Structure 1
Amino acid sequence: MNAIDLRTGDLVQARGREWIVLGLPEEGLIRVRPLSGSEEDAQVIAPALEIMSVTPARFAPPSADEPDTQDGARLLADALRLSLRRGAGPFRSAAHLGVEPRAYQLVPMLMALRLETKRLLIADDVGIGKTIEAGMILREMIDRGEVDRFTVLCPPHLVDQWVGELAEKFDIDAVAVTSSRARSLERGLALSESIFDAYPYTVVSLDYIKSDNRRDSFAHACPDFVIVDEAHSCVGGSERGTQQRFALLERLAEKPERHMLLLTATPHSGNQDAYGRLLGLIDADLADAPGGADSNALERYRRRLAQHFVQRRRPDIEEAWGDGSAFARAHSREAPFQLTGDFQNFQEDVLDYCVGVTTNADGDSARRLAFWGTLALMRCVGSSPAAAASALRNRLGGMAEEEALEPVLFDDDEGMLSDTDVEPATALAGEEREQISRLISQAEKLADRVDEDPKFLMLVKQLKALEKENARTVVFCRFISTADAVGEALRKIFRKHRIEVVTGRLTPEERRERVDDMGDDDRRILVATDCLSEGINLQKLFNAVIHYDLNWNPTRHQQREGRVDRFGQPAKDVWSVMMFGANSMIDGAVIQVITDKADRIREALGVTVPVPEDSASVTSALMQAVLLKSERHRSQGMFDFGEADAQLEVEWRNAEDSAKKSQARYAQGALKPAEVLPEWQRLRALNGGPEEVERFARRALSRLEAPLDTTGKHPRVHYDRLPTQLRERMEARGFTGSRAVSFADDPEPDVTHVGRVHPLVAILAETLAEGALDPGGTREIEPLGRCGTWRTRAVESVTTVMLLRLRFTLTVSGRRTLLAEEATALAFRRGEEQPFATGAEALALLEQEATGNIERIAIERQVGEALNRLDDYEQAIATFAHERAEALREDHDRVKAAMRGEGATTEVESALPADVIGLYVLVPEIA
């Protein structure tokens, strides 16, 4: 049999076993999967080169001499459904998802499916689920056969998170490519082969790949599907790192057929040029919006952009979509404290020193640097005595560059947060050493009196209040010294808690490990710098945030809170607490100059805007506010602040106007997710929903003599009790020991969600289904039989239930043919050749409890008679398969209509004969 004679969905005999043809990648080649194997066993073979001919095959029916019980029949039916990965419905990815998407999360995927080249800017708020939205598009493209290689580009601290999310939620095993791992990945490759040739699925550190000596080679080998996370960090500012990242993306975007998904919660940072560069990566024509004078041109531009840009705020989801249940209830409060005694005097002493330095500065440049140095130092003083001492010691190291101070002052670090949580050197003149030494001594003494620090005492009060609400808290600090000091002090007070400190001193891998290790402790407090305000999602372990330090960039507060207040938070409530010194000149200045104005804009527009880029206006206004809020009398005349307040007010208004112009929420009016969601849910139910998953897991574990432990509040899986073959596979995926589980979406904290693609379910289903089809392929596990007979009151006459695997070919617009599979059943009464029950109704007959067993000889006789009638049922099976093909085509058409799609057509054909996986005879119970 030649490859040209084969079609997708055919069964063939090759290499001593049967295979299903998955596709014809090239002339003379066929991609096949063992009939009794999983997707991981798929291979490409060349029939012309095989020693033994590739010939047609037919799936063997069950054997009457290998029966099983009703429990075995039900287990096989569920295992078959849960092991199939090539769904036949309009959403090919449904069978691979480990998360149940919300209606609003379908919108980006529907938008992508309408585009020939998938280029989208997904700019939803922090915590809404951009990773899920991008992952769904990727998974759908893979399962449609349109993507066979991809890469995710992200900051280094997000690499491991992306690898984990792809595996857990999308059943995709990707390789992490970072500076520390690239060498080992390259080992053993041919000289002409790159990492991206050898590994089709990669998650790549932007910092590793952006360099000039790697950019060109990566652009040459880069896959045609690219996801860019934190895309805003690649387009703004004049830093060399930013320029390199943008040069890389610009190079990738030059290939017109390359799919690109850009993800960011802050698409517009107030810099119109950066915003234009971001849109230009989607389409060069979108980089420059037309002026307001030509309303027709502006409307055309908006419509064009709306095809590629989706941005939803939390209120959009909760109000317009009516999906408030997607998020926890948010509670926020302020926690002001009063500085007293030595702690208040220390701030004044440092300010006296800084005023002297600034007054003596000679020239505009020196004065500006002195301003910045003063504010940077005062910021450390406001954070903690420990941070003040560290900053003052660093100050003794020498002069600081202006470029090094700006990101520390305004938290504008372009996504590299681990670089700016170190206390800065600020500025130094030789005669200052004696003054600095005295201030260091003061700071160190105050740091030793942390139990008297009004700020720390307020933190303890807030933590105890949150503990009464059953909250688990993350305390965000600005600087490493502050985080270390707070963590050490909290350990002395909360002795029964697990307290960890995570800062930029740790590598991304070490940060993740330290956080993950806290999962085994019910009472936990995490102290962290802003190195965790982007990156590691914390919602599974924590549901409260305390801002120990005011952040000078308003968007950072949103990002901090977004680590716990996000989609997938299992707790019903989340808390955020904003701490500030009510009489602190530093906190007071920030609130007056930055926080209050940003809050006003957010209340008016619903979006958070960053600090205006005019740093001179901001620093002058801050310095002026600090001096005015000081309790010591100082001459203001020595400083010429000019119109600092008025100029800054203009800058804030400009930022607000810019946000208004760019904010337009591009309503996807042509998309009707509400029409599509029922189709999605129906397909998920057909493939096996939460109830079926739980039922299967309980039965499978019981059969394997490792039953769920139901003695506690939540059932627990004991992985170490599984048979060796399964235990080793679970250990390879990181599952050992005992874990509390839930089969429902959004479980409680510390409880693992077990869904259809969770390794436990996937491995159990594959193992049991493969064992039934190939009994010799399992070790230690008794294979399921494929037939059986029992008595039941569910039928009134002898009934044959056939468990079927239907195969279909899907052809999209005549270009690509894909294999689709479906597990279903038909039920026939004896003497009738037409089924009286099909699909779920027929499968339900297997669930009706048996009323009695039947002798082995009678079982074999009943099954044998049913097997002899298979030819009589063949026409009915074929008719049912054709009806299912037509129903599936209608499903595709309905989704296409809901998407307002045009042009694309989907043909669905059944591949016959269908596979009879199981055959069961139900004998009526006679009263």
Structure 2
Amino acid sequence: MPTPGSIVRCRERDWVLLPSTDDDRLLLRPLTGRSDEVVAISRQLSEVLRYDLPTEAVSDAHFPLPTLDDIQDAQATMLLWQAARMALRDGATPLRSPGRISIRPRLYQFVPLLMALRLQPVRLLIADDVGVGKTIEALLIARELWDRGEIRRLAVLCPPYLCEQWQHELQQKFQLDAVVLRPGTITQLERQTPRGRDIYQHFPVQVISIDWLKLDRNRYRFLQFCPDLVIVDEAHSAVPAAETGRQLRYELVREIAAERNRHLILLTATPHSGAPATFRSLIGLLDPEFADWDVSNLNEKQRLRLARHFVQRTRADIEHGWADGLPCFPQRVLRDESYLLTPTYHEFFNDVYNFCTELVSSGTTLRESQRRVRYWAALSLLRCVMSSPAAAVAALRNRAARLHADDDAAVDDAFWQGLVFESDETETDDEPPTAVLEQAETLFNEREQRRLSLFAARAEQIARQGQDAKLTGVIALTRRLLNDGYAPIIWCRYVATAEYVAQALRKQLPAVHITLVTGRMGEEERRRVIADVPNDQKRVLVATDCISEGINLHERYNAAIHYDLPWNPNRLEQREGRIDRYGQIAPKVVTIRYYGLNNEVDGVVIDVLLRKAREIRRALGTHVPVPSESVVEALTQALFLRRGTHAQQLTLELEAPATQELHRRWEEAMTRERITRTRFAQHALKLADVQPILETTDRVLGDPAEVCSFVLTAAKRLGIAIRQHPRQADVLLVEAASTTPDVIRSVIADRPQPWPISFVSPTPAGAEYVGRNHRLVSTLSSYLFEVALVRTGRISSAPAPVARLGVIRTNTVARLTVLILLRARYLVNLPARQHPLLAEEALISGFVFEAGNERRWLTEAEARHLLTTAQPDANLSADEKRELAEMVLAEFGEAHQDHPLWATLHHQTQQRADDLRRSYRDLRQAIQEYVQGLQVKPIFPPDLLGILILQPMPRRPG
């Protein structure tokens, strides 16, 4: 029986026999096909058919040599070699994943992968800054483990609003077909599950809502069939807390982590969340022993051990230590813009503010639960009034059924924080907090209730008469940003405000595409609306915090206006992180805090919260979460309990005890964060360790410039029109012609016409990134490879686009030179793996005919240079080409190791196998681990893809 890696014949077609983990199955890949076209055949059945139906059995075969009918020019031969490289998926490189991903990761994003490769099992906490690309870092690890055969099933657990985002990343960038498991999809997926198999067992790649999975009826089934690798996003929300939901999430992840051999990756931008206990619980999921350590007082042995499982980098860390010639992130330009309330609105604001102050002060004699209801009501009313007249009306006019304030159980601070203050622990609710006012109203006297009704009427009048300077100011600000070339997002707290702002913008800016997204839309509708935004016209997005997490907006927008200042600085960071992140192509993003100069509420929020957050970010280089449980008391004291007598002035009560306590706790959190980042900085891995690994990968698989060259060359020879975009330097426009082969035309026809593409990552807005795994590239490479090997000779009346034999006369060489294009295969035996992996690469060899018919073999660099630079400088007749080709083909004879020419090629492939083994070893040495038992065995003979013969120009006499 043939060995894995060799060429076999079955069903009158040639195949490559792949390694299989099942001894009873033969895995066959078409000789001209890709690894996703593999078929399986029973080994026993093949043996039976050997005698009865020999054409159906698997038998030895060999790669066909070129023939004299294959002769074309140098470009046709060069294009064949390019196609062979682009078709590679299991590249002969120490990292196997780059051959199967559709993006171009940055060097710093490979660091968690290199850390993971020295862990068995992988237990890793990735806590890089917001917008750095933790999703890419985690999925690089998943893809590498998958391609090494170390995992066969994986699950991503995330908040429900992130499910589609993860599914898209898995499918579009990492070629892993994922299903989403949550209430709306389960019924359909269960219909697709074969009888007798569980849904968690059947689908190999799953994205699951963690809040759905934490329920007992779902958790037990999942744990029974839990996959090899589990990725937990927003992992800080899966640690013990008083809230029932968080406790259930923690129990779920703790049970997943209890299986010691399971791979586990935790992702969060806020691993501490301001509390040491939270961090201990989080790292305890990686190893139970970590939960008992005093993280602020680790000995060196403990620090080194934990550092192997923990990566945390700010943007400054990455830009200073991992710069690879290109900027990693945009520059964030922070600006403040202000407005003055109109006299009518200012008077209205002061009356509401005085009313809220009275509510708070008059509640001091009530029970604790009743007093807190009045606090929440005062804060709620102020937020709505300062958001917009529309939000004030919605809160005051649309109050729902009464709640029972006398019931202490109804007063749930976590619930109220979600409605009034943007709590990190509850889902975003962008509706006006009518429930808060309704509960408080049971404690209001008749006079107070009449005043609320009057406030609603006054708010309606302000909106109707256009007495809102905040709105007119933001329209002017938006117009300036648009004129400066920005596409802004206007962030609002409430649905009513967002609708109010969007309506005004549509009226005042009719030529601008205004998009509105609020929590009243379903998740799919939000994504669809944003995806439909045109990239080729001026645009504005008006949105609430329903999309401040989970939907990346950087492809279409590059500015943010905080129309309503968030009362949680964490929310401000999340908003700005939608545009200021990896993949943003704009060199600068603008973020604007928009506030009222004669509005005491905005002044307090800025000085108590937002200014402190900015100071901490400037000092530390990253965001530190605010201790949210202290915020409400600090705001209440600053706004109400210690308010000065002159409400119209910004009398900021920064000395209030609650404010001092908040800032003290926040600074403690910053100190802990600084200590942790200093102690766990990734000094073990450096740019010089990672860069050679990526250079090796590019040499085998091709970098983006080589992908571009292949597509442009193939397009020219296949009748595909590609032209430069008139306004975007890195964008090309693609259109198929009538002469384009059908299989390639079908790829282009599925896209907009003309189709904007780019070979640059991050990709310009509106264009589709075309990397080596893009469908266009894979279709071109497989089509051209097929054309060359089936020797069609001609397509219609035009010359074949590729050829296995090229003969040219050129000034590039002084003696007759032969370039040999090869595809080599290797069996890679990694430690602790029972079955080998297959690795492939396209090689260039060659020799020069010296005096006396001696051959001088070229180095790989010399051969590659000649292949990519040699151009015809004079014509050769068909007879001359045929004569030269016949002479060179005779040199090869039969492919066996005793033949002089093949013996040299065998020696060269053995050297490449040794180089590959050293690359694996060097990779492990870079992460301080040596691979024992690693073997790389070449499969002989390599495939002879093609030959390019370079005939020197005749010497001129004299």
TM value normalised by structure 1? 0.92
Q: 2:785 aligns with which of 769, 782, 785?
A: 769
Q: Which residue of 1 aligns with 2:333?
A: 331
The reply on whether 1:426 has 2:436 as its aligned counterpart is: yes
2:246 alignment partner in structure 1: 242
Q: Report the counterpart of residue 796 of structure 1 in structure 2.
A: 814
Quick one: which amino acid aligns to residue 40 of structure 2?
A: V
TM superposition shift of 1:899 = 1.4
Which residue type is aligned with residue 318 of structure 1? E
Whole-angstrom distance in 2 between the partners of 1:905 and 1:579: 63
Distance 1:703 1:426 in 2: 69
Contact 2:200 2:221 in 1 (8 A): no
Match of 1:342 in 2: 344
In 2, Cα distance between equivalents of 1:573 and 1:599: 18
Residues 686 and 653 of structure 1: is their aligned pair in 2 closer, same or farther, counting only changes over 3 Å? Answer: closer
Secondary structure in 2 aligned to 1:395? coil
Aligned with residue 502 of structure 1, among 491, 508, 517: 517
Asked if structure 1 preserves the Cα contact closer than 8 Å seen for 2:313 and 2:677, the reply is no
In the TM superposition, 1:181-580 aligns within 5 A as: 181-235=185-239, 237-290=241-294, 298-322=299-323, 325-358=327-360, 361=363, 362-399=366-403, 401-403=410-412, 404-414=415-425, 416-417=427-428, 419-420=429-430, 423-428=433-438, 429=441, 431=446, 433-450=449-466, 452-580=467-595
Structure 1 residue 582: deviation in Å?
Answer: 1.9
Cα gap change, 1:865 to 1:112, in 2 (>3 Å): same
Shift of 1:610: 1.7
Query: What does residue 636 of structure 1 align with?
Result: none
**Which 5+ residue runs of structure 1 have no aligned equivalent?**
634-640
Query: Which of the residues 681, 684, 689 maps onto 1:667?
Result: 681
Alignment partners' CA distance in 2, 1:579 and 1:691: 43
Alignment root-mean-square deviation, CA: 3.0
Q: Distance in 2 between matches of 1:227 and 1:881?
A: 39
The partner residue of 2:35 within 35, 39, 58 is 39
The AA in structure 1 aligned to 2:437 is A
AA at the equivalent of 1:246: Y
Q: For the Cα contact (< 8 Å) 2:820–2:844, is it kept in 1?
A: yes
Q: Deviations over 1:628-677 (max 9, x none)?
A: 386279xxxxxxx9954454455445544554555545122332342221
In structure 2, give the amino acid aligned to 1:19.
W
* Distance (Å, rounded) in 1 between the aligned partners of 2:818 and 2:793: 28
Within 2, Cα distance between the matches of 1:774 and 1:184? Answer: 43
Q: Distance in 1 between matches of 2:871 and 2:677?
A: 59
In the aligned structure 2, how far is the partner of 1:709 from the partner of 1:892? Answer: 41
The structural deviation recorded for 1:36 is 1.5
Which of 113, 138, 143 is residue 139 of structure 1 equivalent to? 143
CA–CA distance in structure 1, aligned partners of residues 793 and 422 of structure 2: 58
Partner AA of 1:863 in structure 2: A
> Deviation digits for residues 535-562 of structure 1, max 9, x if unmatched?
1212221211111111111111111111
Distance 1:322 1:837 in 2: 35
* C-alpha distance in structure 1 between counterparts of 2:299 and 2:419, whole Å: 39
After superposition, the C-alpha distances for 1:173-213 in whole angstroms (9 at most, x for unaligned) are 33333332232222242232233433212222223333221
SS at match of 1:879: helix
1:845 is aligned to 2:866 = yes
2:181 maps to 1:173 = no
Give, in whole Å, the separation in 2 of the partners of 1:853 and 1:200. 57
Aligned residue for 1:836?
A: 857
1:27 aligns with 2:46: no
Distance of 1:398 and 1:827 partners within structure 2: 87
Matched, 1:741 2:757: yes
Q: 3-state DSSP class of the match of 2:945?
A: strand
Any conservation in 1 of the 2:423–2:628 contact (CA below 8 Å)? no
* Closer/same/farther in 2, CA of residues 802 and 422 from structure 1, 3 Å limit: farther
Q: TM-score, normalised by structure 2?
A: 0.89
Distance 1:658 1:402 in 2: 33
Q: How does 1:9-88 map to 2 (within 5 A)?
A: 9-50=5-46, 51-52=49-50, 53-88=57-92
Shift of 1:903: 4.7
**Aligned: 1:818 with 2:837:** yes
Q: 1:617 to 1:416 in 2, by over 3 A?
A: closer
The more displaced of 50-59 and 82-91 is 50-59
More off after superposition, 169-178 vs 585-594? 169-178
Q: Give the C-alpha shift of residue 756 in structure 1.
A: 2.0
Corresponding letter in the other structure for 1:875: A
**Aligned partner of 2:742: which letter?**
T
- Please give the alpha-carbon distance, in whole angstroms, between the structure 2 residues aligned to 1:630 and 1:426: 28
CA distance in 2, matches of 1:141, 1:421: 44
Q: Give deviations 1:231-281, integer Å, cap 9, x for gaps.
A: 122225433332332222122111111111111111111233332222121
**Following the alignment from structure 2 to structure 1, what is the Cα–Cα distance between the partners of residues 905 and 636?**
81
**How far apart are 1:108 and its partner, in Å?**
0.8
Given the superposition, is the C-alpha separation of residues 919 and 322 from structure 1 closer, same or farther in structure 2, using an over 3 Å criterion? closer
Q: What displacement does 1:45 show?
A: 2.5
Could you tell me whether the CA contact under 8 Å between 1:725 and 1:779 is conserved in 2? no
Give the deviation of 1:366 after TM superposition.
0.4
Matched, 1:911 2:942: no
User: Could you report, residue by residue, the CA deviation over 1:706-746 in whole angstroms, capped at 9, with x for unpaired residues?
Assistant: 22023624453335545432243456xx6332233332334
- Aligned partner of residue 117 in structure 1, secondary structure: coil
Q: Is the contact between residue 673 and residue 898 of structure 1 (CA under 8 Å) also seen in structure 2?
A: no
Secondary structure at the aligned position of 1:789 is classed as strand
**Match of 2:652?**
none
Q: Kindly indicate whether the alpha-carbon contact (under 8 Å) linking 2:624 and 2:670 is maintained by their aligned counterparts in 1.
A: no
Give 1:897 shift: 1.9
State the match for 2:160 in structure 1: 156
Residues 59 and 506 (structure 1 numbering): CA distance in 2 closer, same or farther, change over 3 Å? same
Structure 1 pair 135–776 and aligned structure 2 pair: CA distance change class (3 A): farther
Instruction: State the Cα deviation string for residues 39-81 of structure 1 (Å, max 9, x = none).
Output: 1111332211223432222111123223333332122111111
Deviates more, 1:777-786 or 1:577-586: 777-786
Q: What residue in structure 2 maps to residue 638 of structure 1? A: none
Q: Secondary structure at the match of 1:912?
A: coil
Could you say what secondary structure the match of 2:70 adopts?
coil
Deviation at 1:908, TM superposition (A): 1.6
CA distance in 2, matches of 1:857, 1:509: 65
Q: CA offsets, 1:292-313, max 9 Å, x none?
A: 6xx5x54333222211111111
Asked if the contact 1:398–1:427 (Cα under 8 Å) also holds between the matched residues in 2, the reply is no
Q: Please tell me whether the aligned partners of residues 540 and 749 of structure 1 are also in contact (alpha carbons under 8 angstroms).
A: yes
User: Secondary structure, in 3 states, of the residue corresponding to 1:162?
Assistant: helix
**Equivalent of 2:890, from 868, 889, 896?**
868
Query: Could you tell me how far 1:453 is from its partner in structure 2?
Result: 1.7
**Cα 1:354/1:282, change in 2 over 3 Å:** same
Q: Which ranges of structure 2 fall in alignment gaps of 5 or more residues?
A: 51-56, 650-654, 894-899
Give 1:830 deviation, angstroms. 4.7
- Contact persistence 2:274–2:666 (CA under 8 A): no
1:25-47 Cα distance to aligned partner (Å, 9 max, x none): 02222333121111111133221
Aligned amino acid, residue 10 of structure 1 = S
**Which residue does 1:900 correspond to in 2?**
928
Match of 2:53 in 1: none
Contact kept, 8 Å, 1:612 with 1:655, in 2: the verdict is no
What SS class does the counterpart of residue 108 from structure 1 fall into?
helix
Identity, in percent, stands at: 36
Residue 219 of structure 1 deviates from its aligned partner by: 1.7
Is structure 2 residue 712 aligned with structure 1 residue 698?
Answer: yes
Aligned residue number for residue 54 of structure 2: none
Is 1:726–1:763's contact at 8 Å kept on the other side of the alignment?
yes
Distance 2:567 2:12 in 1: 69
Partner of 1:888: 916
What SS does the aligned partner of 2:912 have?
Answer: helix
Structure 1: which amino acid aligns with 2:510? Answer: R
Paired residue type of 1:416 = E
